[in-house]
Structure 1
Amino acid sequence: MKPIVIMLLAIFLLPSCSDNNEETKHLKPKIINPIEGSWKLVYAHILEKDSLQVKDLSKTDFIKIINATHFAFFNQEEGTSENFMAGGGSYTFNGSDYAETLEFINAPDYRGHVFPFKAEIKGDSLIQQGHEKLEAAGLDRYILEKYVRIKSKN
């Protein structure tokens, strides 16, 4: 009789120890794409025609937020409500190929345009570079940007 009781207990208890039950599925950490997160721009240069401009970031905050499907960026001059710019949309990231489709911005010529870049993540840095070209807006330049990951305060 005792072996039957032990066997019945095992039959009912073992399935509850599985990692696949519904109660534990939400506890597993989700594996995210390494580009996902919040990023602060720390270096940027723009090569346009024969001119190289290194952006002065000492008085501005530029952040980019990337989740599983979308990105958004915000640029604000420190200590003022002037010179605020924002935009966002969807993106793709495959290997080093990163492309942003700008869907939300106050410049209509930019909406729906795909900007292809090369992107590389090194430690807590995101390096993004590419040729931004949009004839309708008179845009034709090469950019190089370096972002650092914004650490969570938790």
Structure 2
Amino acid sequence: MRNQIILVACSFIFITCNKNETTPTLSKPKEIKKIEGAWKMVYGEIREGDSVKIKDMTVSDFIKIIGKDHFAFFNQNHTNPDDFYGGGGTYTLEGNTYTETLQYCAVEAVRGHKFPFTIEIKGDTLIQYGLEEVKKANIKRYIVEKYIRKNK
């Protein structure tokens, strides 16, 4: 009887130790970049020449959605339903350099243009700033935009 108990105990230890080595490992889920998600603009500033224009966020909603490698944005004015615009395209993120390539928008002169920005993410706030310059569209302005992450 004692030999049977020892045999069962040894078999149990052997099986248990061996089980950890043969258990298949699950692949890790893909890491989501901190920038991915839906963002609502809470502050927008445009500097052109020597003028500064602050976007009135009480009359419109500006939402930016950033996925794995694409982005989209839309702006809806609360007082004028016809005052709507949007766009989107692809982006790259290297360190804190975020570059949008605008592929979808109503203004043909900016389609295909790359817009490099610097970004900072502090808690639930995304700050994006940089020079928007498109000679074909006569655009040269420095922007600062602040977004709050929308609830998941």
Q: TM-score range by the shorter chain?
A: 0.7 to 0.9
Could you say which residue in structure 2 is the equivalent of 1:111?
Answer: 111
Q: Deviations over 1:30-52 (max 9, x none)?
A: 42111111100000110001111
Task: After TM superposition, give the deviation of residue 81 of structure 1 in Å.
Answer: 2.4
Extract unaligned runs of 5+ from structure 1: none
Could you say which residue in structure 1 is the equivalent of 2:33?
Answer: 33
Separation of aligned partners in 2, 1:80 and 1:15: 65
Task: After TM superposition, give the deviation of residue 13 of structure 1 in Å.
Answer: 3.6
Count of aligned positions? 146
Q: Which has the larger radius of gyration?
A: 2
Q: TM-score, normalised by structure 2?
A: 0.85
Could you say which residue in structure 2 is the equivalent of 1:14?
Answer: 20
Task: After TM superposition, give the deviation of residue 151 of structure 1 in Å.
Answer: 1.1
Separation of aligned partners in 2, 1:12 and 1:106: 63
Could you say which residue in structure 1 is the equivalent of 2:50?
Answer: 50
Report the identity percentage: 45
Separation of aligned partners in 2, 1:5 and 1:39: 57
Q: Deviations over 1:80-109 (max 9, x none)?
A: 521111100010111111110001111111
Could you say which residue in structure 1 is the equivalent of 2:4?
Answer: none
Task: After TM superposition, give the deviation of residue 56 of structure 1 in Å.
Answer: 0.5
Separation of aligned partners in 2, 1:51 and 1:30: 44
Separation of aligned partners in 2, 1:42 and 1:79: 18
Separation of aligned partners in 2, 1:85 and 1:32: 28
